[in-house]
Structure 1
Amino acid sequence: MDPRTRGHRDAHAGALRLDPDRDAGVVHRRVAGMRAVLSLALLLAAAAAFADDGRNPDFDFEFGAWTAHISRLVAPLSGSNEWVEYSGTSVVTPVWDGRANLGELLVDGPAGRIEGMSLRVFDPASGQWRIHWTNARQGHVGEAMVGGFTDGRGLFYNTEIFEGRPVQVRFVFSDITASTFRLEQAFSADDGASWEANWIATFARDTVAGEGDGHDNAATLWMAIDDAWNARDAPRFASLFTEDAIMVFFDREETLSGRDAIRDAFTERFPQIAAQYAHRSAVTRVRAVAHGVLVVDGTVDVVRHMADPMAEPETFRSFRVSSVMVHAGNAWRFRDMRIHPSP
């Protein structure tokens, strides 16, 4: 995912800086305005980017969930060599059949937490991509990085004001495989004659796991979700998530941050669901990306049982689900779950 945090717009536009004291208050905040601004950006981009029905597969490699490690230079273009580290997850979702995509980054480190979101839109007229970035602390979308991919390497540029002077900004996507890629951001204060890297991100995921322990553990947890949902048991449902889990519903632009928020939301929601509705999950893909970490994709159908007990249940709604499972407290739990409505 794309790195710019734009923490202090006037003085540090595009700079990779966090203010831990200010960020502490937004550790679990998902700014509703951020999604509203992104929605507006999508509409504006659509007018220019979709004069035809062109599609470009450049970013297809990134679709799905990844583990992320970030190294950030604290004070770019200052001569300092102080770096801070973050680790977490990245989830990238295709939009408009891949003609755009939305990426969400959640990483933590000693310097604080970064909750970021990137919007990438392909312009078939120019053959280039535009990458916009925002974060939960700000809630507004930055200027686009513009560029594309050649021979498996992506280059994107723009010009911003940093510390009162114009600098060129460069993104480089490289080392792209089915299970890894690298993203570097660099600044240039001399019109591109030299570059200083200030954000280095590496992403990893393993290839599809077989039907062994990984798949079995995923299937067991997803079955437990079904059982808790069908019993309308909100505390049991929430217990299947980590304390700091995030659950995102893309059909209604809702984000639940933390186990308590998930429990409270479903305590309110479950009594409103009629008894004839049931929850059916199926695991479709499992990737072991690190020790004790699984990235699991699947489907969920909400079915309605008919009055005739011999009749097959009717599918009411269907969803695609991407999730990150972690082994915590001697049990597997969901750390991250993204629910997308199926067409």
Structure 2
Amino acid sequence: MKILVGSLVGGAALVGSTAALLPLAMMTSMGVSDVALAPVSSCTVDASGLTVDDLDTEQLKNAATIIGVAVSLKVPPRGQAIAIATAMQESGLRNLAYGDRDSLGLFQQRPSQGWGSPSEVRDPARAASAFFGGPASPVKNGGLLSVKGWQDMELWEAAQAVQRSGFPTAYAKWEGLANDVVTKLSGATSTCEPLAVGSWTLPISTGYTLTSGFGSRVHPITGEVRFHAGLDMAAPTGTPVRAAAAGEVTWAGVVSGYGNLVRIRHAGNIETYYGHLSAFVVRAGQQVQAGDLIGKVGSTGNSTGPHLHFEVRHNGEPTNPDPFLREKGLKP
């Protein structure tokens, strides 16, 4: 059984690999960063022949995903066991489409409490990343890595600090199984692909203001709370918009909501989106380099004023552009 575990969140690759997320020596010049990237974008974990008592294939797959995320974030085995025990108690290590009130997924995270949209909390890799938290967290809720002294707590205490369950000590009964899962899966073979390499640059170099970040927000037009999949960079109409990295333009046209949109596919299954443009100067199939002019700031589509809506996606899933770019030495 080969399990692809990985979904890039905040520049930290969510993978089942023994490769650690190493500190990067970052150098920037004129908004462009050339960084030898240590993280990987995704890994295929070969769990063939591995068995864990009392776990079926579905549960083992979800456990492998959680551990892959943990390894990419440099969470030690103790933290991995806490996450596995938590998921066992909350969902039986199953990606549930139901739960108490609006609770969903492996960790029974609640969209109404800031854990993400219903589809996001049912993404096992993203849910695991949110549980662990830390700088790469896709949510603002505090995760395990934000709990002071979690390494020295009883397993149930650490889990409860994140989950805030009505039955805090219930996590303790899964500690033995969780330790067994971590021990067995830590020996699984993994094959990893490198994250997109080369120069990266901010899509707008200067003269912009960040007006909206990644995550849940009150939509400026509808007034509803919705998930915002990128960064909004307000700038005067006509401000140059540049490719964030080398790649191939896969779309240059009108998309509902985005208005005039350019999409660029980069190495490592990374895509960048540039929305609300007043004009674009590239076409689908065109190769571009980091810093190449691709369009100009505008206010097309669902927009309240001139700005660039910038997204980063990995395997089609939105990831927070802010820490992703900071990982490359760039500060949006």
TM, length-normalised to structure 2 = 0.27
Q: Relative contact order (alpha carbons < 8 A, sep ≥ 6): 1 or 2 greater?
A: 2
TM, length-normalised to structure 1 = 0.27
Relative to its length, the structure with more strand (as a share) is: 1
Relative to its length, the structure with more helix (as a share) is: 2
